[in-house]
């Protein structure tokens, strides 16, 4: 049976979708799965439990096809030629993905909907948002609904396990010395989720006294602070290798945070407006999530609504400004000293 899965999004969204694809491969090994995803995130879905075929397209290019009928028709025709009997549309997909599914010829079309899709009747079964508000749970339930439609969900686990990302570690973790290793990633996909490079640099410099501190950079980002080791990263494999070797990962609430969480890394995440559902899902005992303790407007993001601006007019970005370098440094040291908190 041919199944087409539509999931075009950023790194964190991809990480929490991998368990759903891997579970379908385990439960339905005879299915021929084609995944439509983004180029950078396609690497997440490798290994023996990955889809048999992956089509990569930048998210913005794919979404614009909805306003370019001739391009959208090409996507629909490509899926129809696969002879798809079922489509799975992740809850965060837009009009283009829903249009491809609707006109694909697939008799079973399962997914979620954030209520911004203009087309009607694109899905034969719509899976509602989960009670816990976690995207990983929503993805998991959509995949199970697809398996159940064909009587293939027997023994399906109640909760999603961490994804198997061993294919991202072909050489294993990066070699390290005798000191504990702290990896710092100061970036984030959205400006509203960024604590600030200068704050990260201050903490990194303090931690470099007694620890090996690796400063992750991409492209033309700021150079590594004094006392740290700069690590230019150009691929998921390189990032995963550094994360797998870390005793502690210091990061914003971001895609790299979810990758580290899936790999079992311990970490501290400085979190501002991000929805509660985007906190680390696996190995929660290894993570310290820093959220403002009593801010009336936080978190202002929801899983079903993308955040476009800070809602706190009197005190913009108070949720992130609350976290001083001293507070974050203390959280890092406490986690490093906690028995079993960091990796050895």
Give the pLDDT score at 343.
54
**Average of per-residue pLDDT values in the chain:** 92
Tokens representing 92?
A: 């965060």
Same-domain status, 85 and 144:
yes
Q: Residue 97: which residues within 8 A CB-CB, separation 6 or more?
A: 6, 8, 36, 62, 89, 90
Same-domain status, 58 and 23:
yes
Same-domain status, 72 and 202:
no
For 160-192, write each residue's pLDDT tens digit: 999 999 999 988 899 988 899 999 999 877 777
For 144-164, write each residue's pLDDT tens digit: 999 999 999 999 999 999 999
Give the pLDDT score at 219.
62
DSSP code for 167: G
DSSP H/E element including 55: strand 53-56
- Whether 95 is covered by a domain: the verdict is yes
Structural domain including 73 reads 2-153
Give the pLDDT score at 305.
66
- Whether 342 is covered by a domain: the verdict is no
Give the end of a domain, one of 153, 183, 213.
Answer: 153
With tokens 């009197």, the residue in question is 314
Predicted confidence band at 119 (pLDDT cuts at 50, 70, 90)?
confident
Largest separation between any pair of C-alpha atoms in the chain? 61
With tokens 């949720």, the residue in question is 319
Q: Residue 21: which residues within 8 A CB-CB, separation 6 or more?
A: 5, 33, 35, 45, 49, 50, 51, 143
Same-domain status, 144 and 190:
no
Give the pLDDT score at 344.
42
φ, ψ at 213 (rounded to 5°): -110, 120
- Whether 48 is covered by a domain: the verdict is yes
CATH of the domain at 311: 3.40.50.2000
- Give how far Cα 130 sits from Cα of 138, 139, 140, 255, 271, Å: 6, 10, 10, 21, 22
For 288-341, write each residue's pLDDT tens digit: 999 999 888 888 877 766 777 888 888 888 889 999 999 999 999 999 998 765
- Give how far Cα 305 sits from Cα of 161, 300, 308, Å: 26, 9, 9
- Whether 162 is covered by a domain: the verdict is no
- Give how far Cα 60 sits from Cα of 9, 63, 66, 114, 161, Å: 9, 5, 11, 18, 30
Q: How far is 299 from 24, CA to CA, in rounded Å?
A: 33
Given a contact cutoff of 8 angstroms between Cβ atoms, the answer to whether 140 and 23 are in contact is: yes
Same-domain status, 179 and 286:
yes
Number of domains in the chain: 2
């Amino acid at each position: 049976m041919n199944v087409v899965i539509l999931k075009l999004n950023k790194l964190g969204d991809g990480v929490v979708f991998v368990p759903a694809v891997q579970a379908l491969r385990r439960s339905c090994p005879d299915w021929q799965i084609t995944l439509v995803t983004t180029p950078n995130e396609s690497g997440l879905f490798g290994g023996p439990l990955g889809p048999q075929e992956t089509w990569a397209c930048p998210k913005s290019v794919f979404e614009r096809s909805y306003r370019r009928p001739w391009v959208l028709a090409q996507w629909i025709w490509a899926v129809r030629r696969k002879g798809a009997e079922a489509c799975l549309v992740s809850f965060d997909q837009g009009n283009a993905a829903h249009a491809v599914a609707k006109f694909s010829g697939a008799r079973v079309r399962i997914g979620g909907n954030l209520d911004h899709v203009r087309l009607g009747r694109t899905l034969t079964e719509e899976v509602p948002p989960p009670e816990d508000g976690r995207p990983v749970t929503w993805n998991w339930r959509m995949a199970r609904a697809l398996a159940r439609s064909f009587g293939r969900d027997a023994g399906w686990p109640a909760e999603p396990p961490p994804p198997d990302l061993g294919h991202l570690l072909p050489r294993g973790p990066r070699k390290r010395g005798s000191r504990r290793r702290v990896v710092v990633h100061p970036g984030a996909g959205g400006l509203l989720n960024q604590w600030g490079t200068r704050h990260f640099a201050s903490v990194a410099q303090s931690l470099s006294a007694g620890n090996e501190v690796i400063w992750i950079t991409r492209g033309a980002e700021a150079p590594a602070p004094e006392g740290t080791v700069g690590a230019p990263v150009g691929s998921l494999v390189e990032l995963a290798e550094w994360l797998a070797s870390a005793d502690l990962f210091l990061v914003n609430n971001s895609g790299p945070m979810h990758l580290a969480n899936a790999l079992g890394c311990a970490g501290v995440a400085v979190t501002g407006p991000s929805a509660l559902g985007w906190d680390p899902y696996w190995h929660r005992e290894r993570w310290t999530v820093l959220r403002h303790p009593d801010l009336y407007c936080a978190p202002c993001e929801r899983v079903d609504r993308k955040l476009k601006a800070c809602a706190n007019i009197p005190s913009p970005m108070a949720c992130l400004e609350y976290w001083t370098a001293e507070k974050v440094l203390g959280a890092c040291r406490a986690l490093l000293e906690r028995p079993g908190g960091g990796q050895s």
